Structures are given as C-alpha cells and as structure tokens.
C-alpha cells in the first residue's frame, strides 16, 4: 500500500510555501492555488488542511515563532554553559528575530504580513498579542535573573524594562527592514547593545571569569 503522507509534514510543507510566497511578493501574492503550486501539491490537499488564507497564515506565523524559539533555546543553553553575561545572551536572543540574513528576513516578512492581517481579525490578533506577551515575559525573567546575579540594579522594574526593550527592538527592526542602507545590521545591533548596556550596568557575581578577563 502507498505510504500515507504525515499530517504534520504536509502542514509544514504548506507553511514553508506560504513563507516563500510572502517573501517573494507579500501577502497579496498568497492564494490557495499559488500555495499548492509552490508546495508541489494539489489545491484539494491544501484545502484539506487549511480552510482559508488566514488559517494558512496563522499556521505559518506560528511556525516562524517556533523556529525562532528553537534557535533562542539552543543559543541560551550554549551561552549559559560557558558563563556568558545575561546582557549578551539577551542581545543575541533578540537578534534572532531581526532580519539580519535571508532566513530571518523571510521570517520577518511573514511576521509583518501577519501583523497587518491581525489588525482586522480577532483570532489572528489574539495570536499576535500572545506572542508579544511571551516576549515581554521572557525578557522580564531575564532581567530578574540578572538582578539576582548583580548585572541589573535591584530597583529596576523587570516588567517595565522588558516592555521598553521589546519596543526598542521592534522599532530598530522596522528601520532595519524598511531602510537597510540608513540602518544597516551593524548599526541596529550596536544601538540595541548600547540600550541593553544602560540596563545591565553591573557585573555578575555568580559568573566565573576566564583567566585574564576584566570585569564588564
């Protein structure tokens, strides 16, 4: 008997096709027919898994978030294992959601298309709010951890500072995407690094320094 295609594999195949279409021509270029062609499957199969364009977009957006989270999780694990400052871990983690290379540029275009669509769709809007809340929550947790080790002053409000960092990062990312000549990746990362340095002002008393390393 012929092998039955895995359900999740097909859905991921469609999501990858939607992402490529958005990267190439924006959300207006995404249709069920074009998605089927891009994915190399039939229109009927696409419609079997997704009832409409918004369902395809939602799943594609969720896949982008999962991809970024997997990279960030791996990055944090590597960095913590060698005693990297929390400030630098946060900088590298935030950079994973910025359009700094072709892969992250495609992800950002999907996120941008989703944000625009979410403004007029309650279901998509709810997913967008959940993603924003998770970002702020993770940043607040990182700031709290940094307070415990001495990198961030005790008087800092983690939730308020997390909101500031998230908003600052999103603003830089918008400029980087819309005007890469005026805001190249190096400038965007330098600006974000400067902002984080104004928050993470102390030295972690729990981190072991390498021989000859000076305090941050």
pLDDT > 70 in the chain, percent: 93
pLDDT tens per residue across span 24-54 = 888 888 999 999 999 999 999 999 999 888 9
Which among 55, 66, 15, 59 has a CA at the least distance from the CA of 38? Answer: 15
Q: For 122-140, what is the mean pLDDT? A: 95
Going from the N-terminus, what domains does the chain have, and what CATH number goes with each?
A: 62-197 (1.10.357.10)
- pTM passes above 0.85: yes
- Please check whether residue 143 is in contact with residue 158, taking contact to mean a CB–CB distance below 8 angstroms: yes
Contact 20, 105 (CB under 8 A): no
> What would the pLDDT profile of 75-111 be if each residue is shown by its tens digit?
999 999 999 999 999 999 999 999 999 999 999 999 9
At residue 28, the 3 state secondary structure works out as helix
What backbone torsions phi and psi does residue 155 show, to the nearest 5 degrees? -75, -10
**What is the per-residue pLDDT across 142-199, written as a single tens digit (0 to 9) for each?**
999 999 999 999 999 999 999 999 999 999 999 999 999 999 999 999 999 999 999 9
- Tell me what pLDDT residue 214 has: 52
Q: Provide DSSP, 62-93.
A: HHHHHHHHHHHHHHHHHHHHTT--HHHHHHHH
């Amino acid at each position: 008997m012929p092998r039955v295609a895995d359900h999740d594999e097909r859905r991921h195949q469609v999501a990858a096709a939607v992402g490529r279409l958005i990267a190439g021509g924006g959300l207006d270029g995404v249709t069920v027919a074009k998605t089927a062609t891009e994915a190399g499957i039939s229109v009927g199969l696409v419609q079997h898994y997704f009832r409409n364009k918004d369902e395809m977009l939602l799943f594609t957006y969720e896949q982008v978030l999962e991809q970024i989270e997997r990279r960030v999780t791996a990055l944090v694990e590597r960095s913590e294992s060698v005693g990297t400052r929390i400030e630098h871990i946060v900088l590298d983690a935030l950079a994973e959601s910025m359009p700094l290379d072709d892969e992250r540029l495609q992800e950002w275009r999907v996120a941008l298309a989703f944000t625009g669509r979410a403004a007029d769709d309650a279901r998509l809007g709810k997913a967008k709010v959940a993603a924003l809340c998770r970002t702020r929550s993770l940043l607040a947790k990182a700031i709290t951890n940094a307070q415990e080790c001495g990198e961030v002053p005790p008087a800092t409000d983690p939730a308020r500072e997390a909101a500031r960092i998230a908003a600052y990062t999103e603003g830089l990312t918008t400029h980087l995407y819309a005007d890469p000549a005026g805001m190249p990746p190096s400038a965007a990362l330098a600006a974000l690094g400067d902002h984080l340095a104004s928050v993470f002002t102390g030295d972690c008393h729990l981190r072991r320094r390498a021989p000859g390393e000076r305090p941050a």
